[in-house]
Amino acid sequence: VEAHTCNGNAAPKAGETAATTDCDPPKTVVVSHENGNAAHEQDKKKGRHAAVGHKSVLQSDALYQYILETSVYPRESPYQKELREITEKHPWNLMTTPPDEGQFLMLLLKLINAKNTMELGVYTGYSLLSTALALPDDGKIIAIDINRQNYELGAPVIEKAGLNHKIDFREGLILPQLDDMLLEEKYIDFFDFIFVDADKDNYVNYHERLLKLVKVGGVIGYDNTLWNGSLVAPEDVPYPTYVRHYRPFVLELNQVLAADDQIEISQIPVGDGITLCRRIK
């Protein structure tokens, strides 16, 4: 099952596949809410564990819409709304961070008192803007993307929001820039938070480097770690080529993170899944 739009605002209807609003991928985890009660009854019979089961992974499009309308849109800043609407018109809008995930990131940054952060993969800047809104006035974000053109769509909104002074946008490939940072003493054990939302086939390479750049007690968030639900789908599900291409890399990443004793982790099923990793040594 796949969605062909990735309009963060599109109201998914019950029984339809939700667009993941995170355009790395279309979302594939779909359960009709009309079956919700029956499923719940079945789960209850299986015992508490089963009842908890997948319930934290979005179980219906209608429920997602409810979350957006009740808890997210009313609290989204006018700047985020404007950038979301600009991005919706862009052909690659599937890549944007969905607003409920933006809200999650903002709260997380405040909970950990983040000041120095980095973002790998900016696109038009929804997660960057959300981060900049959440950081204190002297907070800083190093934001890396190979594509400046897409960032320039969001840059005027970020400027209007008065957040330019927090952002250091660096155009170019991520990996060599991380290697350069590793040579600079000031970036070792430096970042409070790093959001990774770029090429999934490089996440394991990034992880090795980011563990030296994030401080002990700091957090790395790897985005799209549920990869459209494809991780557990049968072989014959006709996913788009890019989903099939990156699937083994996301599977490998999840294994690597689960086995890494330098971090504590939690897989958060918001958006297409974000795995939070707290560096402990």
Structure tokens at 137: 């006035």
Which of these ranges, 24-32, 43-51, 169-177, 199-207, lies near Ca ion under the rule CB under 5 A? 24-32
Instruction: Out of 223, 246, 270, 279, name the contact with Ca ion by CB under 5 A.
Output: 223
What is the distance of C-alpha 262 from the center of its chain?
A: 22
Q: Which residues make Cβ contacts (< 8 Å) with residue 202, sequence separation at least 6?
A: 174, 175
> Going by DSSP bridges, is the β-strand pair 214-223/191-196 parallel, antiparallel, or unpaired?
parallel
User: Which of 124, 131, 230, 254 lies at the binding interface for ligand SAM (CB under 6 A)?
Assistant: 124
Q: CB 200 → ligand SAM: shortest distance, Å?
A: 9
**Residue placing its CB nearer to ligand SAM in the complex, 62 or 68:** 68
Determine if 86 is a binding residue for ligand SAM (CB under 6 A).
no
Report the C-alpha dihedral over residues 249, 253, 255, 259, rounded to 10 degrees: 150
Query: Residue 38 Cβ, how far from Ca ion at the closest point, in Å?
Result: 33
Least CB distance from residue 173 to ligand SAM, whole Å? 4
Q: Kindly identify the residues of this chain, within the stretch 186-225, that bind ligand SAM according to CB under 6 A.
A: 197-199
Q: Is 260 exposed, middle or buried (0-12, 13-18, 19+ CB in 10 A)?
A: middle
Q: Which helix (H) or strand (E) holds 157?
A: helix 148-160
Other C-beta atoms closer than 10 Å to the C-beta of 129 total 27
Residue 214 DSSP label: E
Rounded Cα distance between 181 and 175, Å, is 10
Q: By CB under 5 A, what part of segment 156-175 binds Ca ion?
A: none
126 binding partner (options Ca ion, ligand SAM, none; Cβ < 5 to 8 Å by kind): ligand SAM
Q: Which residues contact Ca ion (rule: CB under 5 A)?
A: 22, 24, 197, 223-224
Q: Which residues contact ligand SAM (rule: CB under 6 A)?
A: 24, 95-97, 121-124, 126-127, 144-147, 150, 173-174, 197-199
